[in-house]
Amino acid sequence: MWGSAIIGDVYDSPIIKSDNYTTKIIQELSQHPNFNFSSLPLEKSSGIYSSDEIKSHNFPENGDGWLKMAYGKDANDIIRMCRKMRRVDKNNRDEIDLIIQDVRTIKAMEVEATITNLTWSEGLEDIIKQMSLSDRSLKSLRKFGEARSSSLQKACQEFLKAHSVLTMLNEKDIWNTDDQINWSNAMRLRKDAKKMWRNTLHQIDKISKNDKNALIYVSEQLEKSGPLGSRELIRRGVESLHKSVSPKKLSKLIKMYGEELDVFQSDSRGLFMKMGTHGIIIKDVWAYAAGFLDADGSIFISERGEPRATFVATGERGRTQCESLHKALGCGRLVLNQRIHKNSIRSQHRLIYSSKNDLRQLLKGILPHLKMKSLQAKAVLKFIDEKDKVKKKELYQLVTYNNWKDDTKKANNLLTKWGIDADTIGGFGEEL
């Protein structure tokens, strides 16, 4: 199968006989009978799977392949592990060889699915397969294949022109001078087409070494520590980053090229995040939730006396933020894909906390990290278990006023409606 040619044959890492992680992965792969296809996000119609039977081609948002999503390793890495294991476990060489074959099959299916997902790939499938299709290129193709389609299509068309000329020339027994020139031009055109393809998929390769190293450092830090701002990244990397990289420059680099390393800007407090296979990498979920709520959320009590906390975000990145936080916290209610207004293309997403238990869990966890809404959080926590109706009314007024105090007109209207002044409201919060 052509897909097997994709897998490299350089396996020079030392053999680790007691590598439990390797053993675990290979044991998992040793089902069906040599590979567990059920872990892949495919719809199947029989027990024998081929590329013709793929009906759903779902990949993670960060562009990782199915093998990486299921096992944390790409095909190359898994095959390398299997070959090491085969050298050690000689009694099961045949079974391990079957596993390698199945991994290669899955890799070929990944390639087919990646190409099929492209809206512009029809008629260019064979040309795309002749371009650079390393694991890195496949990941970029899944992420940027549509956004950068014009340049990618142009590269394919240029390659096709060169391929047609070379095919025609190969059918000739004797070349004249013009044929030799055409061959030379076609070879150069094919080389340029591949270069255009690579440059389009990997724009980060065009920046300076210092800038690229800075982005790699950022990616590593965000994977290690979770969301961070540019100033904190600079502070942590004083000894690792080039002196020319300022917080402003770093922010610009991340915005322009960060997505190629699964790094993007959050809507909250100028933070930058790392996207993993299963969503945003969050190390300190309470600190992250607090920053998110301070910037793009609300803590309030309705006029009917219903306490709420809500996170709000827009667009696809916003959806990912809400989904990742919901998963990390393990509570709350997701409301996705709401229209901002009737004619809006952009969608709005909410993570809502309304039950008493969910609110307690959320507010107690984020309270030490809140900077702008700590008073509202304390008041709502007290409101949840308060039995005295007068106290509950005071807490409602405290929360509502503080949510609107930056809007002078609205705040004054509330005071007039309640028949009290700002000092009285301030007194309600002294006990908290």
Mean pLDDT value across residues 195-205: 96
Which parts of 258-388 fold into alpha helices (H)? 285-296, 315-329, 356-366, 374-385
Rounded Cα distance between 332 and 321, Å, is 14
Q: How far is CA 264 from the centre of its chain?
A: 9
Mean pLDDT across the chain: 84
**Secondary structure (3-state) at 107:** helix
For residue 11, pLDDT over 60 is answered with no
* 373, two tokens: 């809404």
| pLDDT on residue 21 | 55
Mean pLDDT value across residues 421-431: 88
| pLDDT on residue 57 | 61
Q: What is the DSSP-derived secondary structure letter of residue 351? A: E
For residue 33, pLDDT over 60 is answered with no
Q: Is the pTM of this model over 0.75?
A: no
Condensed to tens digits (0 to 9), the pLDDT of residues 373-391 reads 999 999 999 999 999 999 9
pLDDT band at 42 (very low <50, low <70, confident <90, very high): very low
| pLDDT on residue 17 | 43
Range with lowest mean pLDDT among 35-39, 168-172, 316-320, 374-378: 35-39
> Considering only CA atoms, which of 78, 67, 93, 73 is closest in space to residue 7?
78
Which parts of 367-407 fold into alpha helices (H)? 374-385, 389-404
| pLDDT on residue 10 | 35
Mean pLDDT value across residues 40-49: 39
| pLDDT on residue 85 | 87
For residue 49, pLDDT over 60 is answered with no
| pLDDT on residue 28 | 59
| pLDDT on residue 195 | 96
Condensed to tens digits (0 to 9), the pLDDT of residues 241-259 reads 888 888 889 999 999 999 9
| pLDDT on residue 8 | 39
Contact of 138 with 114, CB cutoff 8 Å: yes
Q: Name the pairing type of β-strands 228-229 and 347-353.
A: unpaired
| pLDDT on residue 305 | 93
Count of C-beta atoms within a 10 Å radius of residue 206: 10
242: alpha, beta or left? (left if phi > 0; alpha if psi -120 to 50) = beta
Q: What is the DSSP-derived secondary structure letter of residue 303? A: T
Rounded Cα distance between 89 and 98, Å, is 14
For residue 74, pLDDT over 50 is answered with yes
Contact of 106 with 2, CB cutoff 8 Å: no
For residue 46, pLDDT over 70 is answered with no
| pLDDT on residue 73 | 87
pLDDT band at 267 (very low <50, low <70, confident <90, very high): low
| pLDDT on residue 208 | 93
Q: Which of residues 341 and 221 earns the better pLDDT score?
A: 221
**Under 8 Å CB-to-CB from 149, ≥6 apart: which residues?**
118, 119, 120
Q: What percent of the chain is predicted at pLDDT more than 70?
A: 85
Range with lowest mean pLDDT among 54-58, 59-63, 107-111, 204-208: 54-58
For residue 410, pLDDT over 80 is answered with yes
| Bridge partners, 280 (sequence order) | 275
Count of C-beta atoms within a 10 Å radius of residue 141: 26
| pLDDT on residue 122 | 93
Q: What percent of the chain is predicted at pLDDT more than 90?
A: 53
Q: Which of residues 81 and 269 earns the better pLDDT score?
A: 81
Q: Which of residues 342 and 309 earns the better pLDDT score?
A: 309
**Under 8 Å CB-to-CB from 267, ≥6 apart: which residues?**
295, 296, 313, 314, 317, 318, 321
For residue 152, pLDDT over 70 is answered with yes
Q: Which of residues 121 and 239 earns the better pLDDT score?
A: 121
